[in-house]
Chains A and B, each alone.
Chain A
Amino acid sequence: MKLPRSWLGSMPLLRVASIAMLVSLAFMVWGILHARPLPVIVAMSVGQGIGIVGAAIFLFVVVRDLRRTLGSKRDGTE
């Protein structure tokens, strides 16, 4: 299955990363405020997993943009 090209733009990906991070933060806050086994375990497993995905998407966008920028600069100088 191929994703539509517009979904892989920087802005849509950053929105997905933002939503993932918000969900992750919500789990973390739940775990801290309601310190019982289930919230703590969910916060430190599911919550952090979602957060890592969000951060990874953000880093992917940053690296891709940097490569594009550096590539266009190199093309301009040659």
Chain B
Amino acid sequence: MVRHTVTSRRLSPRPGVAKLHLAAGVTNGVSLAPMEQGPSLLGLAALGLAGLSAIAIVGFLWKRPALTGDIKLRLFFALLVLPTTAALLGNTHNLETTKKVEFCNSCHVMNTYVADARSAESESLAATHARLEAFREDACYGCHADYGMLGGITTKIGGMHHVKDYYLNDWDEPGHRGPALYEPYDVRICLSCHDPLRPGAPLQHRVHGDAIAARSITCASDGCHGPPHPVKFVPGQPREGSR
């Protein structure tokens, strides 16, 4: 595993935008968190509760005791309380896991995109954001989660669409299209952090102010700040980190 560390910082030509330049293997005190981790505390708690429940259930099946009050109470915990709690914790853990870059990278079609986002040399929009503390391990989700109150739910529904696409297509077939969004990128995701029409905003922003407000263009459009991922998907590319 490669640990990326911040080595230098310089201001970009654009006012107010700092660019962090990263290189692997050199430390100056600020390091990115490792990309691949085991289960979180929630996941471990869910595993522990599932283990306790399983032990009690196997004991019941093995010994076949008479249904006394004590056994009924044990079954109440083994078949209801412990599994329900484990499922709640496990679901929360799983939902958090699905936000991780490592999770997205487990589908090999995403390898080139993630490699670019993690690259110390890349100046792409994706890489610039992936270096920021607020994005880092959740970088893909940070920019691709839908906006709004139901954004989390609609994002998961969209994710299921991608998973179905992944498993029902032969992505190694020569000439296969690359992975793509099903709908145009919603500029409101950018606007939740950036204010393109702030006082002193660049002329280009002010010229396109109406289009930005009407969401007819996005910050990530070609010719503006895009393309966000300047990499090409190549069918049959070598797989890295995918399982």
Determine whether B57 belongs to the interface, using a CB cutoff of 8 Å to chain A.
Answer: yes
Contacting residues, chain B, for A41 (C-beta < 8 A): 160, 163
Give the Cβ gap from A56 to chain B, nearest Cβ, in Å. 10
Option from A22, A31, A33, A35 in Cβ contact (under 8 Å) with B58: A22
Contact A25 B83 (CB under 8 A): yes
Contacting residues, chain A, for B100 (C-beta < 8 A): 35
Contacting residues, chain B, for A18 (C-beta < 8 A): 57, 60-61, 78-79
Give the Cβ gap from B58 to chain A, nearest Cβ, in Å. 7
Determine whether B86 belongs to the interface, using a CB cutoff of 8 Å to chain A.
Answer: yes
Closest B residue to A28 by CB, please name it. B90
Q: Digitize B83-103: 1 where CB-to-A-CB distance is under 8 Å, 0 elsewhere.
A: 110110011011001101011
Closest B residue to A18 by CB, please name it. B57
Contacting residues, chain B, for A54 (C-beta < 8 A): 79, 83
A58–B64 alpha-carbon span in the complex (Å) = 16
- For chain B, what secondary structure do more than half of its interface residues adopt (helix, strand, loop), or is it mixed? helix
Contact A44 B61 (CB under 8 A): no
Contacting residues, chain B, for A28 (C-beta < 8 A): 46, 50, 86-87, 90
Give the Cβ gap from B130 to chain A, nearest Cβ, in Å. 20
Total number of A residues with any Cβ neighbor in B under 8 Å = 31
Q: How large is the interface on B (under 10, 10 to 19, 20 to 34, 35 or more residues)?
A: 35 or more
Known: A33-B39, A44-B91, A55-B80. A25 touches B53 (CB 8 A): yes
- For chain A, what secondary structure do more than half of its interface residues adopt (helix, strand, loop), or is it mixed? helix
Within 8 A of B (CB), among A36-71: 36-38, 40-41, 43-44, 48, 51, 54-55, 58-59, 62
A58–B100 alpha-carbon span in the complex (Å) = 36
Contact B94 A40 (CB under 8 A): yes
Known: A22-B58, A28-B46. A35 touches B79 (CB 8 A): no
Option from B64, B67, B79, B167 in Cβ contact (under 8 Å) with A17: B79
Pairs A–B under 8 Å by Cβ, sample size 27: A11-B67, A14-B79, A17-B79, A18-B57, A21-B53, A21-B57, A21-B78, A22-B58, A25-B50, A25-B54, A25-B86, A28-B86, A31-B90, A31-B94, A32-B90, A35-B39, A35-B97, A35-B106, A36-B106, A37-B103, A37-B106, A37-B107, A37-B166, A38-B167, A44-B91, A55-B80, A62-B76
| Interface residues of A, Cβ cutoff 8 Å to B | 10-11, 14-15, 17-19, 21-22, 24-25, 28-29, 31-33, 35-38, 40-41, 43-44, 48, 51, 54-55, 58-59, 62
